[in-house]
Amino acid sequence: MIAPSLLSANFANLEKEIQMLNNSEADWLHLDIMDGVFVPNISFGIPIVSAVKKLTNKPLDIHLMIVKPENYFEAFVQAGADYISFHLEGSNHVHRSVQILKKLGVKAGIVLNPHTPISLLEDTIKDLDYVLLMSVNPGYGGQKFIEHTYKKIEQLKNLIKKSSSKALIQVDGGVNIHNAPKLYQAGADILVAGNAVFTDQNPTLAISKIRNSK
Ligand code: DX5
Ligand code: ZN
């Protein structure tokens, strides 16, 4: 599957961009929420998520790069989130946060930064709907893919199998048409792609190419 990231879209014409995504093979729409504290950049917030929800029937995948993400879960669910992921590095009560997301009726995901080991998921993996592996340091679109990610996908795949978890593996950052086949082969279920989609002359085709590149 593929989840195009809106971070690289043209915000001056968001409606047109969403229409393009609606008519594409995009499986989920990935929305990056940055607060300028957890990551050194600010993106957009709840009103934009609500506006996007009105324009699409595709599932909204909210990637929270904010401090105290649990304070905002309900607001993002009300704004139309279907999937919500938050960073392990930014949460002191991960188990509780996952339970809150489930109670709110959305799919729950945990995000790992490039430096965070897979082993830290051992006690939560069974409760998760997906794990998002960052393949760049979070904060910006258009960065270079970190090769070590392949090894982490492999480790995560083994942990999922060992624990009979149903979690999907999502990979985010520096994904493009060249590394997508190898990522799917390594075990990724859903790839996030921003730059590779929105800088392409034909974004719809780029989505299709990445998605079907297995
Ligand atoms: C980075 C974000 C990504 C970003 C990916 O912090 O989490 O979702 O939009 O962008 P590309 O595909 O350009 O690396
Ligand atoms: Zn993201």
User: 17-61 pLDDT, tens per residue?
Assistant: 999 999 999 999 999 999 999 999 999 999 999 999 999 999 999
Tens digit of pLDDT for each residue in 58-104? Answer: 999 999 999 999 999 999 999 999 999 999 999 999 999 999 999 99
Residue written as token pair 């942990």? 159
Give the span between the Cα atoms of 116 and 131, in whole angstroms. 12
Tens digit of pLDDT for each residue in 158-190? Answer: 999 999 999 999 999 999 999 999 999 999 999
Question: Ligand 1 pocket, 109 CB below 6 A?
Answer: no
Q: Report which of 42, 30, 34 is spatially closest to residue 81, judged by C-alpha positions.
A: 30
% residues pLDDT > 90 (the chain): 100
Mean local confidence (pLDDT), 116-144: 98
CA of 138 from ligand 2 middle (Å) equals 7
Question: Ligand 1 pocket, 195 CB below 6 A?
Answer: yes
What would be the CATH architecture of the domain defined by 2-211? Answer: Alpha-Beta Barrel (3.20)
Task: Report whether pLDDT(127) > 90.
Answer: yes
Q: What is the pTM of this model?
A: 0.98
Are 56 and 28 in contact, with CB atoms under 8 Å apart? no
- Atom index in ligand 1 nearest the CA of residue 139 equals 6
What pLDDT, on a 0 to 100 scale, did the predictor assign at position 147?
Answer: 98
Question: Active-site positions?
Answer: 32, 172
Residue 68 in tokens = 């105290």
Q: Which ligand is nearest to the CA of 39?
A: 1
Give the span between the Cα atoms of 200 and 176, in whole angstroms. 11
- Grade residue 214 by pLDDT with cuts at 50, 70 and 90: confident
Q: Report which of 82, 109, 78, 84 is spatially closest to residue 32, judged by C-alpha positions.
A: 84
| DSSP structural state of residue 36 | S
| DSSP structural state of residue 27 | S
Helix (H) or strand (E) holding 11: none
What residues form DSSP beta bridges with 191? Answer: 2, 171
What is the domain partition of the chain in residue ranges? 2-211
Residue 6 in tokens = 């809106």
Q: Report which of 108, 100, 99 is spatially closest to residue 81, judged by C-alpha positions.
A: 108
